[in-house]
């Protein structure tokens, strides 16, 4: 909209001024100029405010729910309701419409899972491909989330005898940090300030999923196997999980300094150490992950409770809950029943257009009639989802384009965007926290083009290359990561987990 000066000074007024002898009077000319300038500035301000108002009409979609959410969170503190947020009542009445504090917590834990992708070095031209780009004490600083309120406790590594090219990333360099290990996630603990706000000390375990294509589903989806076959102390041999998940969780390579302990041993020993470190505090154990990481989160949560690590010395049971994103089915009906009996709470966030949560068990799953599932119970391909499902639909977001790319429907940042705009079934999509929509396109092409956010924009600056003193570009050396913390042998013996290392 252009400014029309004929609107500011009427044409007849200009003609009358020229005809009047006062037009040639300098004081009158100055005064007239001041009046016209004032009118021009006033009109410009009005137009500026109008433009601001127009731009704020779109935030009806983007920010319309922020005030209501802020008021609701002011009235109810998380420290007063954290047990309900973590599934104390199985989230009854909290999902439709969604509780604003629950939404904020889901996004927060989702971002902790997203950190596993943002920090992972998946560049095959890097000497450190397959590792974390940051040392543990600079992890949150490197990600720009130092105010997140957590202190990193340890890194997690995994190895496998299964060929998973889309999960295990390896460098093309002959001399690498490890030939058999990949960084898989981390364990962190809330600091004192966040602990006071949360109403308890929160131990969080975040798992990484796949970083490239989705062919890992075909690589892993094999058959069900009893969890007790890998020395997880389950009294029922009919409790079974997908064999590939179990292999990844329990495999180790004692010749490798990073994976001489299995992911299972790393987690159990660290959880034991942390629960012993805070014996007199209110604790929670929260697990989160996306895709394959969601399966690990459920499996490790089950293992923690089945092993009894969540029971304190004074017999208090520490609540164990899982916030999973776009996760596959993990085990059979018996696994689901055992998980519920142990009191593990699972909230699964899924996109209804995503294929990963529909597998494995495409034909024999929880959607079948109970009688038919009973007959198929013994089959090695009969699976069941666990916990409570929060189903989202990316077609409800006005910010996302229509695409048949399965990686977009599976993308974690897209899930967090959908969470931000979800208010309940049948409710209009309105961004509640104003979370930046540009984050959706970090690793995919999902935003509508008119938002001018380039697809796949997240990358390491200069792809990790730096200029040395001679003016040559090169890959810098990184500080050596610690492999495993001291005291693991002690905790392994306490847990009855034998290791010859």
The length of the chain, given as a count of residues: 501
Distance (Å, rounded) from C-alpha 339 to C-alpha 315?
Answer: 20
CB 308 within 8 A of CB 222: no
180's CB contacts (< 8 A; 6+ apart) are 159, 253, 255, 256, 258, 259
Q: Are 495 and 272 in contact (CB under 8 A)?
A: yes
Measure the CA–CA gap between 446 and 403, rounded to whole angstroms. 8
Among residues 291, 326, 382, 384, the one annotated as catalytic is 291
Note the helical H segments in 385-479. Answer: 406-410, 412-421
Q: Residue 205: beta bridge partners?
A: 187, 287
Q: Which one of 86, 290, 394, 410 is the catalytic residue?
A: 410
Which of 348, 411, 410, 451 shows the shortest CA–CA distance to 61? 451
Here the tokens at position 226 are 């009893």
Q: Which of 230, 247, 303, 354 does the annotation list as catalytic?
A: 354
326 is catalytic: no
Q: Rounded CA gap, 490 and 501, in Å?
A: 12
Return the SS3 of 464.
helix
Rounded distance between C-alpha atoms, residue 232 and residue 250, angstroms: 9
Catalytic annotation present for 354: yes
182 DSSP 8-state letter: E
Contact predicate 207/185, CB 8 Å: yes
CB neighbour list of residue 22: distance below 8 Å, 6 or more residues apart: 28
For residue 360, say if its preceding peptide bond is cis, omega within 30 degrees of 0.
Answer: yes
| Catalytic residue annotation | 291, 354, 410
């Amino acid at each position: 909209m252009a400014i029309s000066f004929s609107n500011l000074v009427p044409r007849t007024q200009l003609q009358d001024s020229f005809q009047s002898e006062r037009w040639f009077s300098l004081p009158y000319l100055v005064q007239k100029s001041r009046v016209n300038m004032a009118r021009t500035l006033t009109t410009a301000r009005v137009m500026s405010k109008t433009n601001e108002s127009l731009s704020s009409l779109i935030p009806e979609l983007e920010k319309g729910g922020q005030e209501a959410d802020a008021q609701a969170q002011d009235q109810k503190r998380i420290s007063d309701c954290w047990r309900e947020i973590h599934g104390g009542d199985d989230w009854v009445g909290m999902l439709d419409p969604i509780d604003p504090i629950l939404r904020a917590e889901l996004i927060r834990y989702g971002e902790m899972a997203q950190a596993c992708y943002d920090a992972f070095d998946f560049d095959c031209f890097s000497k450190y491909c397959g590792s974390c780009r940051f040392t543990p004490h600079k992890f949150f600083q490197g990600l720009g989330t130092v105010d997140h309120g957590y202190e990193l406790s340890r890194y997690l590594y995994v190895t496998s005898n299964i060929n998973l090219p889309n999960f295990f990333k390896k460098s093309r360099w002959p001399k690498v940090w490890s030939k058999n290990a990949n960084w898989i996630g981390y364990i962190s603990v809330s600091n004192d300030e966040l602990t006071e706000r949360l109403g308890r000390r929160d131990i969080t375990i975040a798992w990484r999923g796949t970083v490239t294509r989705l062919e890992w589903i075909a690589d892993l989806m094999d058959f069900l196997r009893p969890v007790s076959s890998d020395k997880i102390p389950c009294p029922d041999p009919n409790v079974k999980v997908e064999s590939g998940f179990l292999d990844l969780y329990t495999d180790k390579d004692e010749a490798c300094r990073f994976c001489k302990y299995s992911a299972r041993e790393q987690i159990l020993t660290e959880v034991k150490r942390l629960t012993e470190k805070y014996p007199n505090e209110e604790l929670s154990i929260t697990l989160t992950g996306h895709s394959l990481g969601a399966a690990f989160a459920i499996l490790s949560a089950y293992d923690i409770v089945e092993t009894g690590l969540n029971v304190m010395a004074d017999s208090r049971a520490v609540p164990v809950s899982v916030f999973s994103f776009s996760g596959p089915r993990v085990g059979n009906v018996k696994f689901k029943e055992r998980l519920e009996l142990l009191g593990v709470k699972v909230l699964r966030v899924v996109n209804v257009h995503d294929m990963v949560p529909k597998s494995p068990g495409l034909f024999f799953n929880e959607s079948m009639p109970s009688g038919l599932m009973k007959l198929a119970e013994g089959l090695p391909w009969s699976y069941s989802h666990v916990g409570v499902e929060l189903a989202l639909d990316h077609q409800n977001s006005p910010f996302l384009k229509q695409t048949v790319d399965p990686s977009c429907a599976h993308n974690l940042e897209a899930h967090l965007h959908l969470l931000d705009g979800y208010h309940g079934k049948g409710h209009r999509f309105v961004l509640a926290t104003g979370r930046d929509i540009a984050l959706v396109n970090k690793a995919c092409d999902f935003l509508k083009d008119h938002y001018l956010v380039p697809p796949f924009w997240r990358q390491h600056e200069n792809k990790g290359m730096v200029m040395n003193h001679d003016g040559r570009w090169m890959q810098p050396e990184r500080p050596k990561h610690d492999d495993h913390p001291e005291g693991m042998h002690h905790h392994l013996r306490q847990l009855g987990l034998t290791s010859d290392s």
